[in-house]
Chain A
């Protein structure tokens, strides 16, 4: 049981380049999330998807787009990378049928934009 799998683990981009971060979960969860982690700022929600076919903006959506490809997969795209997007990105998933909605996180993608 792999849980939440993110690819790639590391990436260096030049300013203006585009890339897609991939995320897949095998727990049959309805909801999926993308967070970014920056020093002193904790985990900030970029986008989330409550269920297959729906996506919504989080706290810091500017410069990103997402696609909920199917129930398992939720990708994050940077169309034109900027140095301010240098961060560690985490994908997470959860089942929201109960109040205790534990989120399961992937291992993260460390992205550097030069």
Chain B
């Protein structure tokens, strides 16, 4: 089955710097790659996603890139702010799964220092 690896496990940056989180997946048939943000004491929430027919997607300060050949995708946050501090999860979905079932990475704890 699908396996998703996420790095780094923790990331600390200064406010205003950029942050990059990387994930690799094992199932080359996977076609949907969302990123979730989890704030303390809350459930994860979708922040951005990308489909396998797209190489990059941007939404204000966040962007996601996908390299299908290498089977990896990355989250980029520019001009980081203290409110970006949270746990971030990447995930992948294979088309063989008709349930919407997502396999998640291990998570990255991002700390943005003021």
Interface, chain A (partner B; CB < 8 A): 4, 31, 33, 35, 40-45, 48, 50, 56, 58-59, 90, 92, 94-96, 99-103, 105-108
Contact = CB atoms under 8 A, between A and B. Distances in A.
29 contacts: A4-B43, A31-B99, A31-B100, A33-B102, A35-B104, A40-B9, A40-B106, A42-B105, A43-B104, A43-B107, A44-B104, A45-B101, A48-B99, A50-B99, A56-B99, A58-B101, A90-B43, A92-B43, A95-B100, A99-B31, A99-B32, A99-B51, A101-B32, A101-B102, A102-B34, A103-B100, A105-B36, A107-B42, A108-B42
Given A31-B101, A42-B106, A59-B1, 9 more contacts: A31-B99, A41-B106, A42-B6, A42-B105, A45-B101, A94-B100, A99-B95, A103-B100, A107-B43
A103 B102 CA distance: 8
Contacts of B9: 40
Contacts, number: 71
Given A50-B98, A90-B43, A90-B44, A45 B103 contact: yes
B45 interface: yes
B89 interface: yes
Contacts of B1: 59
A43 B41 CA distance: 15
